[in-house]
Amino acid sequence: MSDITGLTLSQLVHGLRSGDFSSRETVQAYLAQIERLEPTLHAFLTLAAEQALAHADQADRQLAAWRKDEESHIPPLLGVPLAIKDVLCVAGLRCTAGSRILENFVPPFNATAVDRLLESGVIVLGKTNTDEFAMGSSTENSGYGPTHNPWNTERVPGGSSGGSAAAVAAYMAPAALGSDTGGSIRQPAAFCGISGIKPTYGRVSRYGLIAYGSSLDCVGSFARLVSDVALIYSLIAGQDEQDATSMDYPLAQANLDEVDLAGLRIGIPDEYFIAGIQPEVEAGVREAIKTLQSLGAGVERISLPHTEYALPVYYLIAPAEASANLARFDGIRYGPRSAAQNMWDIFRHTRGERFGAEVKRRIMLGTYALSAGYYDAYYGQAQKVRTLIKRDFEQAFEKVDVIAAPVAPTTAFPFGQHSDDPLAMYLEDIFTLPANLAGVPGLTFPVGFDTQGLPVGMQLMGPHFREDILFKAGHAYQQVTDWHNTMPPIVENSLNQK
Ligand code: GLN
């Protein structure tokens, strides 16, 4: 059983089907790893241990029946456990969005992405930590305390999906779901040394995702391997009548058997290699580009001239949309209610006592940007510049197939480094926000380590709905490198202790 947590998704599926181990043993192996490292890392907000074991027994019965008739239908991931970011509803499991205002919220339904995984035979291990309402880049804004980075527990795991990224990096789950509004899958994947996809906007249904910035939010997956990220993505992608922004667009299958990247044109945007970026991050990304070249890809310099506006544009649009989305948490329509004499005091106390500082800051910023006298100057203007950023990408993709860039300007930073300075924290997002503003997909995978042993990630962005190109390139890279197999020391120790 000791090796189960080290397996890839396809190895898990193979082992379960051939009866090398049971789903119960698989779930137990992950729960044991959670027991060993969760006290140190705090990746989870809710664990579903008993329920997961019960589901595993069901899966084992189904697997046994299938073994007697291998022609019969079997869900693709039957008996495989997964972790889910606590902004996605799983029926019957508490869903907090990292906020005290949803401390007791138990959704009666599943998010569509979760539903599709359950139909694929997946077992939910638990719900992972997140910055409150996915607002943040470190999980320090969680209402339940931060998650720690498995590579160095004094460092943040990134955010907002830091719990999902840490869980996968610490072998507490083989894969996980997250959400990415401005980088929340790609940046924690990079900080924790794993792979992650932010799909094209509209590719994965957001029904049952607690909304942050509705024109930016995307649901995506984490795993150690790009091929596993691609597998989960292929199961959750596709139109959903419950989400009017989800698109009916054919799913291009990535050809992962091909390691040859001949003909692939990679664009290197000048605006992403700027002063202030940590030298080892730049060196790691440039080295990875050379590896992609050695596999046959061609490289050319490109320009995305409006990149510098992505940060101010995002930090107007995202808070504006958040202020509207969070209006419902007022103690009357949603959430617990603080005792008060009248309606306004109920609002004031409920929201004042239960929202954290960052959420309040964004509600104020967003409400201001949307208010009558300022709408044109701020929100309206931001929307116009957003169009220019989108056009930058469209023009670039006339010349190149993918764009290669760093994920974040630094590797994982120490707790508290940006806590008193929201603007410094927002700067962490400069390389991830443009993809959300343009709606294009972005894939992160590990490409090395800095001198302190912290992972360096790189990002490939592609045209709308061309996740397949990103997966092919990322997978090819992982065929000739080994970063994705390197284990954080505390994980190695925890596995040796068994
Ligand atoms: N760090 C960004 C923010 O705080 C992005 C978060 C996200 O993608 N959910 O808004």
Active-site hit among 22, 99, 142, 184: 184
Pocket of ligand 1 (CB under 6 A): 134-137, 160, 180-184, 212, 318, 429
CA distance 66 to 62: 6
The tens digit of pLDDT for each residue in 89-118 reads 999 999 999 999 999 999 999 999 999 999
Residue with more model confidence, 425 or 34: 34
Residue 497 predicted with pLDDT over 80: no
Residue 351, H or E segment? helix 343-354
Q: What number does the ligand 1 atom closest to the CA of 136 have?
A: 4
pLDDT band at 260 (very low <50, low <70, confident <90, very high): very high
Other CB atoms closer than 10 Å to residue 452's CB: what's the count?
11
pLDDT at 113: 98
Kindly report the average pLDDT of the chain as a whole number: 96
Query: pTM for this structure?
Result: 0.97
pLDDT at 422: 87
Give percent of the chain above pLDDT 70. 99
- Quote the ligand 1 centre to 426 CA distance (angstroms): 8
Active-site hit among 99, 160, 205, 221: 160
Q: Write the DSSP string, 249-301.
A: ---PPP-TT----TTPEEEEEGGGS-TTS-HHHHHHHHHHHHHHHHTT-EEEE
What is the mean predicted confidence (pLDDT) over 249-274? 91
Superfamily of domain 8-304+389-496 in the CATH hierarchy? Amidase signature (AS) domain (3.90.1300.10)
Residue 2 predicted with pLDDT over 60: no
Based on the residue annotation, tell me whether 290 is a catalytic residue of this protein.
Answer: no
pLDDT band at 255 (very low <50, low <70, confident <90, very high): confident
Among left, alpha and beta (phi > 0; psi -120 to 50; other), residue 181 is: alpha
- Quote the ligand 1 centre to 96 CA distance (angstroms): 17
The tens digit of pLDDT for each residue in 348-366 reads 999 999 999 999 999 999 9
Q: What number does the ligand 1 atom closest to the CA of 137 have?
A: 1
Based on the residue annotation, tell me whether 360 is a catalytic residue of this protein.
Answer: no
Beta strands 81-85 and 175-180 are parallel
